[in-house]
Amino acid sequence: MTDHGPSRRRFLQVGALALTAGMAGCSSSAPAAQEGASATTTGPSPYTRVYRETIDSVLLVRTDGRSGTGWVYDGTHAVTNAHVVGETTDVDLRSSDGRWHTGEVVGTDPNSDLAVIETSGLTDAATPLSLAETPATIGQEVVAIGNPFDLDGSVTTGIVSGTDRSIPAPTGLSIPDAIQTDAAVNPGNSGGPLMALDGTVVAVINSGGGDNIAFGISAALARRIVPALIERGEFEHSFVGVALAPVTPAVATANDLDEPRGLLVVDVAPQGPAQGVLRASEEVETVEGERIPAGGDVLLAVDETRTDTAEALGSYLALETRPGDTVSLSILRDGTERTVELELEARPTRPSTD
């Protein structure tokens, strides 16, 4: 969650997840690209099979001063990251056979870091890759295919290290339901597919943050957003209009709660959907020398889905709701549990709360 102004920022910074992950898909300078990619194997490696079956569908994406990776989504569209294409409308694409193609950016969503490129002239071998239908599982083997440092068709392997992560978007907000992997990701990989061994895309690679830590936008989120980018060029995200803090033991003590659970409403956006529905903290208590917001509603569940973490709330809103939907919020107010109804709105261009 992000803040709506200086006061909100102060509250949110206390409970914010500090991520050192840097955007990994923009390679500003790199060695000369290889003319195609070769694959040799001495045995029936499952990684070799995935590579051979999908490499023709993985593209190098180049704009002025940067490059990344994309992959064929359907007969005329490819998917990459919004931060790879930036504000550019025209890009160059290079397929595994070494041929260059032109592409037009037809939709971007910086809030999810996804973009769609329209192109033509790809070979019949560049068959669409399918987004995984089932959620990624921790420990699942995965293959990252991309163009780190313009090294065409490079492959790294690993496992799914975590699910339901919250990672930074180019807008400064958070991307929910993200996938964490220990497969190596480097500058130039962003926008590429993180593949299951059955050849489906479990995530769109987004960033790498250090040794054995990388992230991607989940297949479930991409499945909701990419069709809208193709059809309308943009995607509307659900917006509640609150700033939240996790209820830690200290927050529970400051708010006279029986146990630490849920999310404390520390601010409500003016004229947002939560105004008049949810109450924000207006007091500050000191617990063991720490100043803690107090007095606001505690959000326990949305449509009976528990919201003990901001990640759980973000994933539910992103995957299960749309602007205009009415959701039931289970809250604690003045020590009493109750249910209130809230109609979601579309997230403003530069919101400060979720």
* The two structure tokens encoding residue 287: 């617990």
310: CATH: 2.30.42.10
Whether 142 and 201 map to the same domain: the answer is yes
Handedness of CA 316, 212, 155, 43 (dihedral sign): negative
Whether 194 and 296 map to the same domain: the answer is no
Whether 249 and 136 map to the same domain: the answer is no
- 354 belongs to a structural domain: no
Whether 212 and 291 map to the same domain: the answer is no
45 flagged as catalytic: no
Whether 224 and 285 map to the same domain: the answer is no
| Calpha distance 76→249 (Å, rounded) | 52
Catalytic residue among 56, 113, 150, 354: 113
Helical residues (DSSP H) of the chain, grouped into ranges: 6-15, 46-54, 82-85, 219-232, 249-254, 310-320
83 flagged as catalytic: yes
Whether 104 and 147 map to the same domain: the answer is yes
Per-residue pLDDT of the chain (354 residues; tens, 9 = 90+): 333 333 333 333 333 333 333 334 444 433 333 444 444 445 679 999 999 999 999 999 999 878 999 999 999 999 999 999 999 999 999 999 999 999 999 999 999 999 999 998 888 889 999 999 999 999 999 999 999 988 888 999 999 999 999 999 998 889 999 999 999 999 999 999 999 999 999 999 998 766 789 999 999 999 999 999 999 999 999 999 999 999 999 999 999 999 999 999 999 999 999 999 999 999 999 998 899 999 999 999 999 999 999 999 999 999 999 999 999 999 999 989 999 999 999 988 654 445
Catalytic residue among 77, 83, 101, 237: 83
Report if pTM > 0.95.
no
Whether 194 and 277 map to the same domain: the answer is no
Domain end, chosen from 198, 217, 232, is at 232
Domain end, chosen from 169, 198, 232, is at 232
Report CA-CA distances (Å) from 148 to 46, 193, 207, 211: 22, 13, 12, 15
| Calpha distance 255→310 (Å, rounded) | 19
Strand partners for 145? 155
Catalytic residue among 57, 95, 190, 238: 190
Domain span at 149: 20-232
74 flagged as catalytic: no
Whether 209 and 271 map to the same domain: the answer is no
- 5 belongs to a structural domain: no
DSSP 62-104: EETTEEEEEEE-SSSEEEE-HHHHTT-SEEEEE-TTS-EEEEE
